[in-house]
Each structure stands twice: as structure tokens, then as C-alpha cells.
Amino acid sequence: MSPRAGGRPAAAADAGLPVPPELLRRIEALPPATDAPDVDVAAAEAPDPAFGLRSLVRPFRPALLAGALLVAGDALAQLALPQLVRHGLDTGVAGGDLRALLLLSAVAAAVVAAGWLVVVGQTRVAGRTGERLLFSLRLKTFAQLQRLGLDFYEREQAGRIMTRMTTDVDALSTFLQTGLAQALVSLFSLAGVFAAMLLLDAELALVVVAVVPVLVAATLLFRARSRPAYTESRERVSAVNVHFQESVAGVRVTQAFDRAAQDAAAFHREGLAYRDARLRAQRCIATYFPFVQFLNEATAALVLVAGAHLVREGRVSLGVLVAFLLYVDLFFAPVQQLSQVFDQYQQAAVGLRRLGDLLRTPTSVPVPAHPRPVGRLRGELRFEGAGFSYPGSSTPALSGLDLHVRAGETVALVGETGAGKSTVVKLAARFHDPTAGRVLVDGTDLRELDLEGFRQRLGVVPQEAHLFDGTVAQAIAYARPDATEEQVRAAARAVGADEVIAALPGGYASRVGERGRNLSTGQRQLVALARAQLVDPDVLLLDEATAALDPAAEAAIAAASDALASRRTTLVVAHRLSTAARADRIVVLDHGRPVEQGTHEQLLARGGRYAQLWASFVAGRAAAA
């Protein structure tokens, strides 16, 4: 029951879209993809709290060294040509030696051909290494996002997270694949040209040296002015992505309340702020690049004047002057290339810093140094003085919770909104660690257990059932992709979902759509219950599992839930007190503390908080009837 493999044609076929036969023929004609990224996946996905550029490139040092050698070869080829021109002019032209001129021309042609081959090899090595490095970075980033606790996602906006995975990674990709190689070539060329000019003629080299301080000062000023603009522009594009993501996710609400114009105006403001930040960076570029070009032309003019004087006096040959003028162009060309690469570098540097911040973020549910393996659980839960406060909140969600849930017992948590019911379930699943006290299962602190193994023994049905795009069968088999079709159907029958699924247009092959949008709220909840049943959990956590269902569906699920709960420990968050009434025990929470415990009959006879809630519930049902 694993998701169907394949690319776009498979996805289009699954969605019922026609696939052009010509496209299929072209895909079949493509050679097989046999290349592999050759990346240590386990090492890439491991936590890296000391993440930086050095740790990122460490596994790729041999390939980077090979690329650097090819870059050096490219730079040497460029440096050799002016020297060949010099000897050609002095020996072949001025000396009248046609044979030497032809020989030097042949050598120059060979150098150009060798340089072309070096550039081809450098491009291939740099491109492959860059893709391998970025593949590793994407693995590392995605693994970190999976490790982080729910508190990270409760405080971070989805659009900002997506920006790090897309815009920031793409900026780094552009720099590593093209900018880095160009920068290395430019640096090698710059150093080599400067050395060649000093060896060729020290007097003419002094003319260039006099211009270097001006060039360095302009470069430092450009960097100081442009760096804040690049940083701000990356933050602005994050805000644009956040607004865009929220607008797409909430488009139904926007249309329902006729807020499209206001939403577009807000998006326009975010876009203008991003544009202004980018324009500030571009204005720096528009000033710096022409200034470097001006220095290039001015330096060439000064060298020509000084060189002509030296040629007239016989202190240098015409070949030396021409070669030196070629070196002047070669000197400023790398500077201009570095200036152009600087735009990519600044964006890549900001992206690398933001990705580093993400990868250095510690998880709120750390894996123990020596985790205890988890097998089958009896399911006994204990909350001992458990407290929890959400980041940024001055009021604790739970405070001094002492609760013992016996193995196989069904406990319903009731209380007003904000009483802490869902927080209890999150602590039981170790989505959060308590900020005070501890939570134990079968007498062991959850923080000592292997987290992955513990979660495999849980069945969780959240308040809003999230279904990934695919078929209904794939949605149920999400936690067990190797489940057979019969096992999927058996899980659906166990929770009373089989008939509902069979009534869908495609049955178990029906597409659920993104976030399950093709199904009703009740159908999504049934599929989520079947998904939890399929893993045969030892502990069942139901958060508002029937809150959004109609009475008929609620009755069917209630019967199935009772059957499931009789064999395993179950925590139920119940707003519909009819669900709570069937539990073995009811715990009433108020402001993060248990104020009443007992069976439905005991709490009604006590006439306390639960009795008041029950009276309101019954009155509400009577009014609705």
C-alpha cells in the first residue's frame, strides 16, 4: 500500500489527468538515470549543532580540491596568453622570424584549446559537487525540521520555514554552482596577473599599484553599504512568502468575508518593502560596477602613456607594453567578476546564516544519550507533578498535574477551553517535555525512552485530522506503508469507516487531496481513526476525535472507539460529554489542574463542576433538538 512511485506522468495518471502519448514516448526514450549523488545520507541527516560552511563542505573536500586545481589551470591558461603575445611581437614581428611567429601562434591555439577543456572539466566538477553538497544540505535541513519539537512550529510561521527551504537554499545553490567557481578563477587570476605584471616590468606595475588602494576602498565601502540591504531583502522576502502562504491557506475565509481587496493591498505593501530593499542593493551595484570600469579604463590610459614613454626611450619593448596592457584588462576583469559574484555571495551568505540558525536550533524533545529500547507497552501512564508553560505565555497550561492512568483504562479529559486537556495529550505523546515534574509510561520517564520506538506504540488522532495527498488507502496506511489491502480494510472496519469509504466515488482509491480537502470533516476523522487503528497501538490518544461529526457518525465511531479502548490505554479529550460519560474515569481540568475525578455517575452525584458542565450539555442538546 505504499505510495505509487514515479514522476509527473504517474502523478497525473493518479489524479485522472490525461497524459499525452508523445510525452510518454519521449520519457521512455530517455536514457536511464544511473548517476548517484554519492552522499552519506546518515551523516547528512545527523544533528549538526556546530553547522557552518566548513562542516558543510568537509565531506566534499576531494572534489573541491579537484575543482580548485582545474580553476588554477584555467587561470594559468589566461596568464600564458599575454606572454605568448609578447614573444610573438618581439621575436616574430619585430625580429622578422616567421617560423617563431607561427610556432608561438600554434602554442597559443593549444593553450586556448587546453583552457577550453579545463573549463569544461571545471564546470562539470563544480556542477556535480554543488548538487551533491546541496542534496546533503536539503537532507540535513529536512531532518532537522523533523527533529524539532512542536514548540518550534508553534512560534515559527510556515512561510518563513518554506523560505529557508527554498529561497535560502536556492541562493546558496546559485553561488556554489556558478559564483564560487567564478570567484576562485577570479582570485587566482588576480594574484597571478599581479605577479606577472611585477615580473614583466616593475615600473609599469607601480602605476597599477597606485590605483589598488582606491579600488580596495571602493570595494570595502560597497560591501559595507550593500550587506545590510541584502540582509533586509532576505527578511522582506520571508515576509512576502509568509503572507502568500497564509493567503493561499485562508482563501476561503478571505472570500467569505469579502476581504480580497484588503488582502491584496497588504500583499502589495509587503512586495513594495521587498522591492525597496532590493533596489537599495542594486543602487550600490549600479554605482560600484561603473566605477570599477572607470578605474580599468583610467589605469589602461596611464599605463599606455607611461609605457609609450618607456618604449620611446628603449627601456621596454613594444611586446612588453602590449602584454602589459593585456594584463591590465586581465587584472580588472576578475575584479568586475568578483563584484558581480558579490551579489550572489551576499545572498548566499544571508541564506547560509539563516540555515545555520535553523540547524543550530536545539530540539525541545532531545534524544537521550543512551535511549532505552521500547517493545510492547502495558500502557500505564503517570503524570507526577507535571507542569508545562508554552513559550511566551505567562500563564502555565498545566501546573502540578498528578494523574495515574492504569493500563487498559479509558480516561476522558473534560473542561472549558484552555483548561489544559490537549496539553496533557501532547505530553503523553512526548510532543513536548514537561517544564516541571515528569511523565512516565510503565514506570519509565518518557525522556529516557527511544523516542521513535515509543511513538510507534502510540495511536494518535489529533483535533484536526491531517491527511497527506494520495488515495484513501494510502492515507490509512501512512504509518504502515507495507500494510496489505486487507489490513487497511480491516482497520477501517474496526472503526466503522468501511461503509463510508466504500460509498466514495473511487472507494479506497479515491483521492483525499491536499490536507484531505476532498473529504468531509467527518470522513477525514474516520480515516484518521482507521490510520491509528492500523498501527495496533498500546496507548490511544484521541483529541476531539468526534467533536466535528454528526450524531449518526458519532454513534458509529463511539461504538468502534469503545471496542478499541477495551484493549488498550486510552486518553480522550472530550467536549461532547456523551463521549466522556462512557469512559472508565473522567478527569475535570480547570486552569491546568485536576479539580474532579471519578465515573460519570459519581461526578453527577457530587454536584460539582462536572455536574454543571453536564447540565449545560444536556440543555444544549435539548435546545438543538
Inside any domain, residue 122 = yes
Q: What's the CA dihedral at 368, 370, 372, 374 to 10 degrees? A: 70
Inside any domain, residue 375 = no
pLDDT band for 625, please (50, 70, 90 cuts): low
Inside any domain, residue 196 = yes
Inside any domain, residue 437 = yes
pLDDT band for 8, please (50, 70, 90 cuts): very low
Q: Are 374 and 458 in contact (CB under 8 A)?
A: no
Give the pLDDT score at 382: 94
For the chain, the C-alpha Rg in angstroms (whole number) is 34
Give the pLDDT score at 547: 52
Asked whether residue 250 falls in the same domain as residue 308, the answer is yes
pLDDT of 273 higher than 60: yes
Overall domain count for the chain: 3
Give the pLDDT score at 549: 58
Q: What is the share, in percent, of the chain residues with pLDDT greater than 70? A: 88
Asked whether residue 90 falls in the same domain as residue 150, the answer is yes
Greatest mean pLDDT range, 175-179, 197-201, 369-373, 497-501: 369-373
Asked whether residue 55 falls in the same domain as residue 28, the answer is no
Give the pLDDT score at 411: 92
Asked whether residue 508 falls in the same domain as residue 557, the answer is yes
pLDDT in tens, 283-324: 887 888 788 878 878 888 887 888 787 777 777 777 777 777
Inside any domain, residue 94 = yes
Give the pLDDT score at 7: 44
Q: Which of 359, 390, 419 is the last residue before a domain boundary?
A: 359
What burial letters (b/e) apply to 601-613, b meaning 16+ CB within 10 Å? eebeeeeebbeeb
Asked whether residue 331 falls in the same domain as residue 399, the answer is no
Asked whether residue 289 falls in the same domain as residue 411, the answer is no
φ, ψ of residue 368 to 5 degrees: the values are -65, 155
pLDDT band for 532, please (50, 70, 90 cuts): confident
pLDDT of 30 higher than 60: yes
pLDDT band for 16, please (50, 70, 90 cuts): very low
Asked whether residue 424 falls in the same domain as residue 298, the answer is no
Q: Which three cell numbers stand for residue 550?
A: 454528526
pLDDT in tens, 454-502: 988 888 888 777 888 888 888 888 888 888 889 989 888 887 788 888 8
Mean pLDDT of 373-390: 90
Amino acid at 65: L
Give the pLDDT score at 446: 93
**Whole-angstrom Cα distance, residue 603 to residue 614?**
10
The range of the structural domain enclosing residue 18 comes to 6-36
Residue with cell 609578447: 86
**Whole-angstrom Cα distance, residue 95 to residue 224?**
52
Asked whether residue 325 falls in the same domain as residue 343, the answer is yes
pLDDT in tens, 205-241: 787 778 878 888 887 888 777 778 777 777 787 788 7
CATH number, position 306: 1.20.1560.10
Give the pLDDT score at 448: 92
Q: Are 267 and 244 in contact (CB under 8 A)?
A: yes
Asked whether residue 19 falls in the same domain as residue 79, the answer is no
Give the pLDDT score at 506: 85
pLDDT of 95 higher than 70: no
pLDDT band for 155, please (50, 70, 90 cuts): confident
CATH number, position 421: 3.40.50.300
DSSP string, 334-388: HHHHHHHHHHHHHHHHHHHHHHHHHHTPPPSSPPPSSPBP-------EEEEEEEE
**Whole-angstrom Cα distance, residue 506 to residue 15?**
12
Tell me how crowded residue 540 is: count the other CB atoms within 10 A of its CB.
Answer: 25
Asked whether residue 523 falls in the same domain as residue 476, the answer is yes
pLDDT band for 19, please (50, 70, 90 cuts): low
Greatest mean pLDDT range, 20-34, 52-66, 227-241, 411-425: 411-425
8-state DSSP, 420: S
**Whole-angstrom Cα distance, residue 355 to residue 604?**
55
Q: Are 84 and 107 in contact (CB under 8 A)?
A: yes
The answer to whether the Cα torsion of 14, 18, 21, 25 is positive or negative is negative
Inside any domain, residue 372 = no
pLDDT in tens, 565-623: 667 898 988 877 888 888 889 999 988 888 999 999 999 998 888 888 888 878 876 66
The answer to whether the Cα torsion of 336, 341, 342, 343 is positive or negative is positive
Tell me how crowded residue 269 is: count the other CB atoms within 10 A of its CB.
Answer: 12
Strand partners, 291: none
Inside any domain, residue 257 = yes
pLDDT of 558 higher than 60: yes
pTM over 0.75: no
pLDDT of 325 higher than 80: no
Asked whether residue 20 falls in the same domain as residue 73, the answer is no
Tell me how crowded residue 344 is: count the other CB atoms within 10 A of its CB.
Answer: 20
pLDDT band for 555, please (50, 70, 90 cuts): low
What burial letters (b/e) apply to 206-225, b meaning 16+ CB within 10 Å? ebbeebeeebeebbeebeee
Mean pLDDT of 7-33: 64
Inside any domain, residue 366 = no
> Could you give the angle at which helices 318-359 and 202-249 cross, rounded to 10 degrees?
30
Tell me how crowded residue 290 is: count the other CB atoms within 10 A of its CB.
Answer: 10
Average pLDDT of the chain to the nearest whole number = 79
Q: Are 1 and 484 in contact (CB under 8 A)?
A: yes
Asked whether residue 288 falls in the same domain as residue 395, the answer is no
